[in-house]
């Protein structure tokens, strides 16, 4: 009996659907709690090529929610271990681990050779970088985020609006799992939904998962879903660039304190200091911080008083 017999019985799959899955190339960015259900489910379903990108190593504090890993994996590269788990589930598929962070420098090439992108990275900078690239290339992006007892997953780009259309302004909070906490089953629910949305798109199910958002609350055990097919793209979008893309003629401001500057020309200024000494017309303003959030908020404060181009650099994704 075929390993896929139970899903090929479904009229939504069949032989044609299984062929589509086998030919699919999926990029998964981030091998944490979300990827723990995503990767085994996609590998088991027979998705033919999985590219797995993560530069981190397994830590003991990961294990309560990142169930791909065991205690014996601590210290090993997450992408490598995840690749081994996927191959153990399905030896018929191709798995390509990339032990590196996703950055503006390597993202275009990685995104350009896939059919659909899964954002499981827990990084504002990475999420918006992927959204910008996928929107420009009409590639679907299935993006998810979890914090505390809640989270969301949505189908963006491709034939749908981008992440920026739904979340056009800087997030209110810079909290992350490592600072605000997270409960493992919530991550599992959202990650499984992320895998389901991916399969729905690969199998051309209707209604399309692109343009749909699902929000889940683990406290009340309730989920809500809505569509955003007509959400407009924002007029202003501050794009993320790599530190290596900065030019000597840019006005570069590093908003971090105590960290080595990302560029030799970087100045240490507050938002008030930037506003008091704005660049000449035609100069690009590059704002740098750790995660991209502080730089984004600074850009929102400067844009109303200065019409030039503003780009963001996140040290954690550069």
- For residue 286, the cross-strand partners are 252, 311
Tell me which residue has tokens 């409960």: 183
Distance CA 51, CA 169 (A): 30
Q: One of 134, 177, 193, 289 is an active-site residue; which one?
A: 177
CA 239, 156, 121, 204 torsion-angle sign:
negative
CA distances from 261 to 44, 268, 287, 290, 310 (A): 45, 9, 12, 11, 18
Distance CA 236, CA 241 (A): 16
Q: Which residues of 157-187 are buried (b: 16+ CB within 10 A; e: fewer)?
A: bbebbbbbbbbeebeeebeebeeeebbbebb
Helices assigned H by DSSP within 24-168? 35-45, 78-89, 107-112, 124-137, 163-166
Active site residue 86: no
Catalytic residues: 177
């Amino acid at each position: 009996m075929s390993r896929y017999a139970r899903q090929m019985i479904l009229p939504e799959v069949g032989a044609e659907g299984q062929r589509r899955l086998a030919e699919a190339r999926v990029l998964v960015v981030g091998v944490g709690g979300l990827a723990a259900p995503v990767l085994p489910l996609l590998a088991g379903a027979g998705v033919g090529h999985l590219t797995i990108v993560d530069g981190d190593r397994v830590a003991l504090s990961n294990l309560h929610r990142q169930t791909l890993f065991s205690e014996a994996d601590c210290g090993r590269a997450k992408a490598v271990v995840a690749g081994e788990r996927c191959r153990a589930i399905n030896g018929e598929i191709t798995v390509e681990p990339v032990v590196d962070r996703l950055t503006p420098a390597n993202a275009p090439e990685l995104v350009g050779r896939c059919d659909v992108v899964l954002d499981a990275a827990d990084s504002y900078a990475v999420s918006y970088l992927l959204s910008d690239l996928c929107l420009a290339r009409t590639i679907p992006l299935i993006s998810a985020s979890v914090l505390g007892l809640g989270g969301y997953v949505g189908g963006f780009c491709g034939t749908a609006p981008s992440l920026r259309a739904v979340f056009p302004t800087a997030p209110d909070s810079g909290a992350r799992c490592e600072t605000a906490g997270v409960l493992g089953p919530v991550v599992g629910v959202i990650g499984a939904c992320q895998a389901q949305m991916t399969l729905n798109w690969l199998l051309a199910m209707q209604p399309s998962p692109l343009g749909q958002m699902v929000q889940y609350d683990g406290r009340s055990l309730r989920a809500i879903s809505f569509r955003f097919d007509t959400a407009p793209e924002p007029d202003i979008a501050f794009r993320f660039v790599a530190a290596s893309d900065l030019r000597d003629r840019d006005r570069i401001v590093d908003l971090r304190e105590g960290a080595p500057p990302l560029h030799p020309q970087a100045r240490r200024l507050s938002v008030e200091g930037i506003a008091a000494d704005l660049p000449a017309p035609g100069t690009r303003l590059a704002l740098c911080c750790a995660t991209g959030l502080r730089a984004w908020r600074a850009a929102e404060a400067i844009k109303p008083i200065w019409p030039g181009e503003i780009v963001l650099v996140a040290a954690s994704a550069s």
